[in-house]
Amino acid sequence: MQRHVTDFANTLYNQEPEIPRAIIVIDGKHIEVPRNSNFRVMRQSFCGFKHYFLLKPIMLVAPNGYILDVHGPYSSDSRNNDANILRDQLRDDIGGLRA
């Protein structure tokens, strides 16, 4: 982790910059998918905000851009916003995320 935490991120996000800590950015990325002939899949992949059919993987990234892990993909319906996905991941401890 020391190779992937930049000095800027360490100063900005670490309350004690002299003690190195892991800093991870968690974000969802939208990937466009073609329209599906299955109505259920089509409905779950439609994003009302973007007005397109999307899947959403959640990426755990180090401050320098190094991809640590990818979770998902999740459907883009209204029930799968970033907050709900993160809450579910922490509750179920997917991939040992809390550790």
pLDDT in tens, 22-33: 888 888 888 888
Q: What is the pTM assigned to this prediction?
A: 0.70
- The pLDDT of residue 66 is 92
d(CA 89, CA 71): 9
- The CA distance from 69 to 62, in Å, is 10
State the amino acid at position 10 in one-letter form: N
CA atoms within 13 A on the CB side of 27: 9
Name the residue among 14, 95, 66 with its Cα closest to residue 86.
95
Residue closest to 57 by CA, chosen among 82, 91, 36, 94 = 82
Q: What are the extents of the domains in the chain?
A: 7-28+56-96
Residue 93's pLDDT is 76
